[in-house]
Amino acid sequence: QVQLVESGGGSVQAGGSLRLSCAASGYTDISYCMGWFRQAPGKEREGVAHIYTGGGSTYYADSVKGRFTISQDNAKNTLYLQMNSLKPEDTAMYYCAAVSVWCVVAGLDAHEYNYWGQGTQVTVSS
């Protein structure tokens, strides 16, 4: 059973940066598509970025492209999301998620992911 624990959220002013971490445990030897998602109050969960643990290929939603970077440290079983040039519209609860399929299959569709963390809040003030 894969377990995911996010950390690193907080409050920051517009233009600032935050780095989210997602510590993973319970992995088997297979590769996973791991993604970051966010959900603002009253809105649907939105895919932000994903990375395939087996090869490191990444993909970003247009809303964060050029500002956010997803990365992994396989030695630490940790997923990261570096968020720069933050905007008030980035305010949301951020979740990491995982599924044992290729990312070309899972994409940024939250319904495709079956392991989820508890979330970490990011608040960006103007």
Residue 29: per-residue pLDDT: 65
Spacing of C-alpha 32 from chain mean position? 13
Spacing of C-alpha 121 from chain mean position? 12
Ranges under pLDDT 50 in the chain: none
Q: What is the C-alpha to C-alpha distance for residues 100 and 109, in angstroms, rounded to an integer?
A: 14
H or E segment to which residue 30 belongs: none
Q: What is the C-alpha to C-alpha distance for residues 122 and 70, in angstroms, rounded to an integer?
A: 16
End-to-end CA distance of the chain, in Å? 40
Overall size of the chain counted in residues? 126
Query: 39 CB contacts (<8 Å, ≥6 apart)?
Result: 45, 46, 92, 93, 95, 119
β-strand partners of 126: none
Q: What is the C-alpha to C-alpha distance for residues 12 and 4, in angstroms, rounded to an integer?
A: 24
Residue 40: per-residue pLDDT: 96
